[in-house]
Structure 1
Amino acid sequence: MRPADPDRIIAAARGWLGTPYHDQASLRGVGCDCLGLARGVWREVVGEEPFPIQPYSRDWGETGTREVLAEGARRMMIEVSVADAGPGALVLFRMRTGAIAKHVGILTAPDRFIHAYERLGVIEEPLTCAWRRRIAFAFLFPSI
């Protein structure tokens, strides 16, 4: 499996900027959450989603033994080390110590990313040290 062109991923993600936040939605310009943004970029760049997404909790502090989000990404994306993640990579964030990874974003530069954030919608912002230290997994979108 070859990775998709990072410029295509970034352009698609930027097309979602300003989309309002809406839990478990994935409609550009209408509403999405962080996973919905990733799903929408997938549809625009890769194609049809390979499997349905089951309802999920909004609890960023959720604990457990399974990294469900990472397991799902491994089924359809190319896993890379966090250190090797560059622009165009999908990154999964562990928002609290001991919690499972429950937030996603797309890197747009070594120091910037796009994500959907409650109350703010889809935004591009600096990848600060606080955000960077929360990255738990990184994946590349596959090419079609």
Structure 2
Amino acid sequence: MGSDMGGREMGGGETSEGDALRARIVAEARGWIGTPYLHRASLKGQGADCLGLVRGVWRAAIGPEPQPLPPYAPDWAEATKAEQMAQAAGRHMRAVAPEDAAPGDVLLFRWREGFPAKHAAVLVTRERMVHAHDGAAVAEVFLAPWWRRRLAFAFAFPGA
């Protein structure tokens, strides 16, 4: 047995290929740091929103995006309360319990209780994440209690 990037013992289904993929995902996410926020964009160094960051990491680590992205406004899903982001992630990624998320996993957050999860980040250590937020460049931040209270879902990239 080895340990993952967060120090957790691994065994069973986790492989060195999965570990290498997780390391690539983390490195790619960190490579987006400083990219300006731009709604619906996904171009490293030019502009990205939170979903654009995840899409860009997917393209670099996995390959072509698995489905076309429908148009969306900043307030998407609030009227219907549908978990559209989590449902889409679940079609292409493996759901993991949020408390078991490991570096390289995608985290989805709810801005408010009773509303759908609509903010995404990439976990880069057990305590830190990379995300894009309106009004700021892509940044690596501490997964503070404020974020942990809003964490709704976690997903692993295919093969991780």
Alignment partner, residue 117 of structure 1: 133
Q: Distance in 1 between matches of 2:123 and 2:86?
A: 17
Partner of 1:135: 151
On the 8 A contact 1:61/1:95 being kept in 2, the answer is: no
The 8 Å contact of residues 63 and 99 in structure 1, kept in 2 or not, is answered as no
For the 8 Å contact 2:110–2:116, the answer to whether it is kept is: yes
Query: Quick one: distance in 1 between partners of 2:159 and 2:60?
Result: 12
Question: Which residue of 102, 112, 117 maps to 1:101?
Answer: 117
Instruction: Flag structure 2 segments of 5+ consecutive residues without an equivalent.
Output: 1-13
SS at match of 1:69: helix
The alignment's TM-score, normalised by the length of structure 1, stands at 0.93
What secondary structure does 2:86 align onto?
A: helix
Which structure ranks higher in relative contact order (CA pairs < 8 Å, sequence separation ≥ 6)?
A: 1
Aligned-pair distance for 1:80? 0.5
Query: In the alignment, which of 35, 41, 47 is matched to residue 57 of structure 2?
Result: 41
Partner of residue 45, structure 2 = 29
User: In percent, how many aligned pairs have the same letter?
Assistant: 49
Q: Give the SS at the match of 1:121.
A: coil
Q: How far did residue 59 of structure 1 move?
A: 2.1
Paired residues in the alignment total 144
Q: Any unmatched runs of 5+ in structure 1?
A: none
Task: Name the CA shift for 1:96/1:63 in 2 (closer, same or farther; >3 Å).
Answer: farther
Amino acid at match of 2:111: M
Which structure is larger by alpha-carbon Rg, 1 or 2?
2
Are 2:22 and 1:6 aligned?
Answer: yes
Query: Residue 131 of structure 1: SS of its match in structure 2?
Result: helix
Pairwise CA RMSD? 1.9
Q: 1:126 to 1:79 in 2, by over 3 A?
A: same
How big is each residue's C-alpha offset from its partner over 1:76-131, in whole Å with a ceiling of 9 and x where there is no partner? 10111111111111000001111100000011111110000111110001000000
Partner Cα separation in structure 1 for residue 102 and residue 130 of structure 2: 13
* Superposition deviation, residue 33 in structure 1: 0.2
> Are 1:21 and 1:122, in contact at CA under 8 Å, matched by a contact in 2?
yes
